[in-house]
Amino acid sequence: MSMTLEAYKELEAVVGERNISNKPWVLAGNRARTPEYPFEYHSPDAIILPGCTEEVQEIVRICNRHRICFVVTVSGASVDAYANRGDTVLIDLRRMNRIVEINEEDRYAVIEPGVRHVQLYPELRKKGFTYVTAAVGPGGSVLANYTSTSGDNHNQHGASRANRYLLGVEMVTPEGEILRTGSLQTGSGWFCPDGPGPGLRGLIKGFFGSHGQMGIITRAAIALNPCKGPREIRTEGHSPHQHIYLDSECSKVRVFNYKSLDDVREAMLRIGEAEIGSTVMKFFYLTLAVMMTDSANEFHKLWPRIRRELPMPLVVHLATESPEEMAYEEGILNDIVEETGGVRIAPDLENWWNEHMDFFMVVSVLQRTLRLGGGWMPIKLGADSVSHIVEVGKSISEFIYDYTDTGKIFDAPENFQIVPMEYGHFAHIELLFMYDRTDPNSGKNVAEFRKTSRYTDLKHHYHAETLGCLNETTELLGPLYCNYHLWMRALKNAFDPENLANPILKE
C-alpha cells in the first residue's frame, strides 16, 4: 500500500471507520472478477463507502490534495469499476441507496446510485408507472444503467433507450465541485436535462457512460412511463422455478419465426410505422434456450428443437389501454406478419413468455446465461437505423463459423438481438456469445473474436462498434470516428487536469 496514513485518516474522518477499509483481505475481495480479460488487476489502496453527496465531494477533494486516483463502483459489473493501477481508492456508492423522490405529477423519480431495480421497479409499478429497464437483473443499479452502460432494453420499441429518460443530474466533478445539470442549475427542479444554453448533460453520457472519468454521479432523475396492465403482478413457485404472470386482456405476447433478416427488417419497420406494440425484438435464440431451461442437460435436450423451430424469433408484446385497442393492434400485427412471411411458433414455446412476463419488466433469469461455461459477453452494441443494423447482423455469418466450429466460443450463427427503438426509428444490435472461463485460452479467443467482429464492421463501414469511455480501444478507433478520442481527451483534461478520476489510459 502506498497511500499515506495521513491521507487514510483524512478519508476516515469523512465517513467514519465503519465505512472505510485498508485491510488486505477486504481489498483483495474488491478486485475485478474476470481474470480472462486483458486488464491490469490491482487491489485498491482503500475502499470507502460514502453516504451522501457532500461526503463524495470531500473524498474527491482529499484525493486531489494527495494526488490519489479514485474509481467509483456500485454494481461492479464492469472491469472499469475496479482499480487498474496503484495509488487508487475505490469509492463504493452502495450506501447511497435512497429513492429520493417519486414525483407522480411530473413523472420522474430521483434516485441515488445504490438504488437497485428490485427496489425501484415495484415502488413505481404500484403507482402505475414503469421505466425503461435494462436486462441486467434485479440487482443492477438503476442509475448506472442510465448513466454508465448502454441503457438498451426490451421495451425500447414503444419507448427508447435510457439516454432519452435521464433528466437532471447531480455530479461531483473530478476536482470536487458539485455540478448540477439542466433545470437543476437554476433551481427549477429535476425535470429537464438540458440548458440553460448548451447542455452540460453532454458530459454525463454519450453513447455509453464515462465510467467515472468525468466525475461521480450522486443523484439523478429519470423519466417515468405509464405502466400498462395490472399494478399487481401474479407470481407462482419459487426461484429458480418462478412464474410471473400479467393477467390482463390488454397484454398479449406473440412470437413469430422468420426465415430471413430482410423479412424481419420489413416487419419491424411496418410495425413501427403503424405505431403498435410495446416490445418488438429479434431475440437471441441460443440465449433463449438457456433462459428457458434449468440445467445444462435440459438445455441440450431443448436446443435442437429451438434451433429447428425458432432460429429467428420476432418477439412482440402488445400492451394496450383497452381490449378494443388490443383488437386493433392485433389485427394490424397479423396483417404485417402475413405480408412479411412470419410464422407463429408452437403454443408451448410461446407460452414461456406468458409465464415469464418479467422478460418485459426486470429480467430475473439472466444469470442463467452464465451456466454454459461461466463466460458471457455482449459485443457490437452499436445503434443506427433498423435497415443499417440488419445489414450489420447479416455480416456476422462472414466470420462467426471460424469460432463456433472450432470451439473457441460457444455460439450460434444468428444468436444476436436487434431491438428497434422509438417505433423503428433506430435499432441496436447485440451479439452475445458464451465461452468456457476455465479454458486457459478463453481470454485470447474472446479477444480475437471481438477483434474480428470489429474489423468486419470497419471493413464494411458499418456503425456497430461499442464506442465507450477513454481507453486503448478508443485511441485505436478514434481516428476513424472524427477523432472523437481527441475531443474526449481534451474535455477530460479540462475537467480533470490531474487525471485522477478513473484514469484508464496510461500516461
End-to-end CA distance of the chain: 21
C-alpha cell at 200: 452540460
Q: Is 214 in the site for another protein (CB under 8 A)?
A: yes
- Determine, following the binding rule CB under 8 A, whether residue 310 of this chain makes contact with another protein: no
Which residue from 383, 418, 429, 434 is in contact with another protein, where contact means CB under 8 A?
383
Question: Given strand 69-73, what is the order of strands in its sheet?
Answer: 20-21, 46-48, 88-92, 69-73
Residue choice 19, 387, 404, 452 for contact with another protein (CB under 8 A): 387
Q: Does 426 bind another protein (CB under 8 A)?
A: yes
Using the structure block, give the residue that is written with the C-alpha cell 453532454: 202
- Would you count residue 199 as binding another protein (CB under 8 A)? yes
Instruction: For residue 422, state whether it binds another protein (rule: CB under 8 A).
Output: yes
CA distances 323 to 140, 251, 351, Å, are 34, 9, 20
| 230 contacts another protein (rule: CB under 8 A) | no
The radius of gyration of the chain's CA atoms, rounded to the nearest angstrom, is: 23
**193 touches another protein by CB under 8 A:** yes
- What lies within 8 Å, CB to CB, of 269 at 6+ separation is 386, 387, 424
* C-alpha cell of residue 162: 435510457
For CA atoms 104, 105, 109, 110, give the dihedral sign: negative
Q: Per CB under 8 A, does 183 bind another protein?
A: yes
Residue 202 makes contact with another protein by CB under 8 A: yes
Rounded Cα distance between 395 and 405, Å, is 17
Rank residues 174 and 443 by Cβ distance to another protein and give the closer one: 174
Long-range contacts of 453-458 (CB under 8 A, 24+ apart): 453/379, 453/380, 453/396, 453/399, 456/395, 456/396, 456/398, 456/399, 457/380, 457/382, 457/392, 457/395
When the beta carbons of 105 and 405 are compared against another protein, the nearer one is 105
Q: Is 465 in the site for another protein (CB under 8 A)?
A: yes
Q: Helices 53-66 & 5-15, crossing angle to 10 degrees?
A: 170
Q: In angstroms, what is the minimal distance from the CB of 168 to another protein?
A: 10
Using CB under 8 A as the binding rule, whether residue 485 contacts another protein is answered as yes
Interface with another protein in residues 105-144 (CB under 8 A)? 105-108
Q: What part of residues 334-373 is at the interface with another protein (CB under 8 A)?
A: 335
Neighbours of 339 (CB within 10 A): 12
| Pair type for strands 69-73 and 20-21 | unpaired
Nearest to another protein of 123, 321 (CB atom) = 321
Part of the chain binding another protein (CB under 8 A), chosen from 3-11, 244-252, 326-334, 345-353: 326-334
Cβ atoms 117, 137 nearer than 8 A? yes
**240-269 binders of another protein (CB under 8 A):** 269
**Which of residues 49 and 60 has its CB atom nearest to another protein in the complex?**
60
Number of residues interacting with another protein: please give it, by CB under 8 A: 98
270 to 289, contacts with another protein by CB under 8 A? 273-275
Span from 9-17, 285-293, 360-368, 481-489 in contact with another protein (CB under 8 A): 481-489
Options 414, 430, 436, 457; binder of another protein; rule CB under 8 A: 457
Least distance CB 379 / another protein (angstroms):
16
Stretch that binds another protein, among 119-127, 207-215, 230-238, 250-258 (CB under 8 A): 207-215
Given the complex with another protein, which of 412 and 429 has the nearer CB atom? 429
